Structure 1
Amino acid sequence: MFRLLIATLLAAFAFAAQASVDVNKASQAELETIKGIGPALSTKILDARKAGDFKSWADMVDRVAGVGPGNAARFSQAGLTVGSASYSAPTAASKAPAPKAAAPAKPAAPR
């Protein structure tokens, strides 16, 4: 019986530790519960959020210095969300530059 109680308590704490934190609603203390986010980065996030909520992970990566795709993926795995969305890395197709349009043909030189 005692083992069941301990197992239940440990499971509850593990679940609480994995609870998601919405970057648009979190306080500084809540942001700092995410592994890798300390006082300096949480301050940068809150300062960027003053300009408006983050619309997506890409918006957060663009607006917060120190948050790139790698950190975004790690923070998402640790429970950080933008809205209710977890981070998903951009695909290779979306990273590739768009093909350039063909240059217009030059008229032939007169003979």
Structure 2
Amino acid sequence: MPPPAPGLSEPTASLLSTLERHIERELGPLREGVEPALAELRECLGALYPAAGGRHPPPAQQEEYRARVAGLLDFLEDNLEALQRAARARRLPDASGRGV
């Protein structure tokens, strides 16, 4: 799991860390399938919710970041559901007693 995102406000960093722990626990190595989207999400959230003393982008750029976050969350929702099914299928033996 990547280190906490630098420059994020504490509440945002904590929420993102919780999300990443859940993804790691549920998906294991399949997490790699969503890592690029998580990295982009960290970047966008860092711009929108900077740590104390950080600077917010101009309003127009904030809207762009918000649109990217919404798109990333939609992407992650769809892909995490599919990867979760795949991860669970790997853990469940098929009817013959062999793993899938």
Instruction: Using structure 1 for the length normalisation, give the TM-score.
Output: 0.26
Report which of the two structures shows the higher radius of gyration computed on alpha carbons.
1
Instruction: Using structure 2 for the length normalisation, give the TM-score.
Output: 0.28
More helix per residue: 1 or 2? 2
